[in-house]
Chain A
Amino acid sequence: MSQARRCLPDGPELATAALSGDRRAKARLLTLVENGHPEGRIALATLSPRAGQAHIVGFTGSTGAGKSTLVGHVAREFRSRGLKVAVVAVDPTSTLSGGALLGDRLRMRDLFEDPDVFIRSMASRGHPGGIAHATRDVVTVLDALGTPVILLETVGAGQAQVDVARLAHTVVLVEAPGMGDDVQALKAGLMEVADIIVVNKSDRPEARRTLQMLRSARLERPQAEATEVDAAVDWEVPILEVSALEARGIDDLVAVIDSHRGYLEASGLWQSLRVAHVRAEVETWLQRHLQELIDTRLDGTALDAAVGSVLNGNQDPEAVARTLLRDLLEGFATDARTTVQAEEEV
């Protein structure tokens, strides 16, 4: 049926086309990278050295806080300043079916006809940290292709989904009014990584109270809670109120996002964040390789035998897992040596 879609994807060719401004090549490349396709990995390796210029702004907060609508407004505000924008919006994958309903675009409809806004929806595909495994790679590609501002929207996130901080320069925590006194307890994890806190839906009467509560919660923060980064710097986390519904407070928010970038650059943190991000990237790959090793190399018979010996009471689960892992890693090292030898012989 379709020749173009049938032909095998060629990573470097797509990368070249995407660099020259071919938006379809860019979209296809993002798919390959998202799927962990070997050609995508090759393209990623070619493009990575070009990355590191974009301002990556993460938006996180609970489901229904208004993240998507707000991200849409922020994108428009950056556009009005003449900057190209990419939006990467992550929604959860169903644990039952493996499918996903990606509905964030729905809230950004005003941007659809602007060719300088590129919106990409991603399913979390089982990754628990509020973003997908491949979100980092997708962001790297967009960065390498010369997008100056990348807005990253996480899945509706609670306490533990702090992965966005390992990827973004500026983390915006979006709160909705009516969370009451529980907010501090509920959001301790996210509050810690937020660079900017936004109370959305300021058109609602409860917004003022939430704002006051958050401000006093910040003031009462015990010293012990302050992280290393906090201790080293003097960025006072601003708490702003906006209404995404009425598009109020957006210009202030974008001004604060901009000044956070300025602050990062002036303090030298921009560079240390780059180091932290690359470190996180390497760690992510370590985990992915390990997972792949388990998924593809673990011998079913050996696993059954291990389960049997736990059931017999001969060994405990931790010990058998350790033995299985040792064997896997030995096999991996042998394979790597064989590959290197084979390449040298060629």
Chain B
Amino acid sequence: MRNNIRVLIAKPGLDGHDRGAKVVARALRDAGMEVIYTGLRQTPTMVAEAALQEDVDIVGLSILSGAHMALVPRIMEALRRRGLGDLPVFLGGIIPSDDLPELRAMGITAVFGPGTETRAIIDHIRETLRGRAGVTGT
């Protein structure tokens, strides 16, 4: 019986910078996780559908466009509508610290800015999923 952590890495919104998302996706792969990478310009529906169909344990969003305060609530709502309101979601990108409390209130588990060590993201995922049924750390 195997039990890899499954992570969705998605890039919602219109900015075309996916280098960060790719670096994270690869680091998570190298940490033994199965990473579903959906590419650029995802709508909130696309992100939520991918999370549902792939039955992921956690979602990572990369947003560099500054539209996070508009996109995050719509994604959380799309997840809730599919019965996935309990799915942990973390955020990476350029996020002003003023927005952090509100993002937390929306249910974002962590926010990673530029220069974050990929180790910190790996640790966050493992920590968040620890003790969860069906998930054993790798």
Q: Which of A38, A120, A125 contacts B2 (CB under 8 A)?
A: A125
Which residue from chain A places its CB closest to the CB of B51 in the assembled complex? A27
Stretch from A93-101, A180-188, A262-270, A332-340 contacting the other chain: A93-101
Q: Identify the closest chain A residue to B26 (Cβ).
A: A101
* CB-contact partner of A30 in B50, B55, B82, under 8 A: B55
Please give me the residue from chain B that is nearest to A101 by CB atom: B29
Which of A7, A28, A101 has a CB less than 8 Å from the CB of B55?
Answer: A28
**B102 an interface residue at 8 Å Cβ cutoff?**
no
* Residue tally, chain A, CB below 8 Å to B: 42
User: Cβ of B88 < 8 Å from any Cβ of A?
Assistant: yes
CB distance B33 to A99 under 8 Å? yes
> Are A24 and B29 within 8 A (Cβ)?
no
B64, CB-defined interface residue at 8 Å: no
Q: Which of B39-47, B69-77, B93-101, B113-121 contacts A (4 or more CB under 8 A)?
A: B39-47
A102→B36 contact, CB < 8 A: yes
What are the interface flags for A1-37 relative to B under an 8 Å C-beta threshold, 1 for contact and 0 otherwise?
Answer: 1111111110000000000000110011011100111
Given known A-B contacts A2-B87, A9-B134, A27-B54, A99 and B82 have beta carbons under 8 A apart: no
Contact indicator A120/B53 (Cβ below 8 Å): yes
A46-54, A111-119, A221-229, A271-279: which lies at the interface:
A111-119
- B15 in contact (CB, < 8 A): no
**Is B1 in contact with A35, judged by CB distance below 8 angstroms?**
yes
Q: A24-B83, A97-B29 are in contact. Are A123 and B4 (CB under 8 A)?
A: yes
Q: Confirm or deny: A63 has a beta carbon within 8 angstroms of a beta carbon on chain B.
A: no
A-B contact pairs, 18 of them (CB 8 A): A1-B132, A2-B86, A2-B132, A23-B52, A27-B55, A35-B3, A37-B134, A97-B31, A101-B25, A102-B35, A103-B39, A105-B37, A109-B46, A112-B45, A113-B43, A119-B50, A120-B54, A125-B2
Q: Knowing that A9-B134, A99-B31, A125-B2 are A-B contacts, what are 15 other residue pairs whose CB atoms are under 8 Å apart, sorted by A's residue number?
A: A1-B128, A3-B86, A5-B87, A24-B84, A37-B1, A94-B29, A99-B28, A99-B29, A102-B34, A102-B36, A102-B37, A105-B36, A109-B41, A120-B54, A121-B54
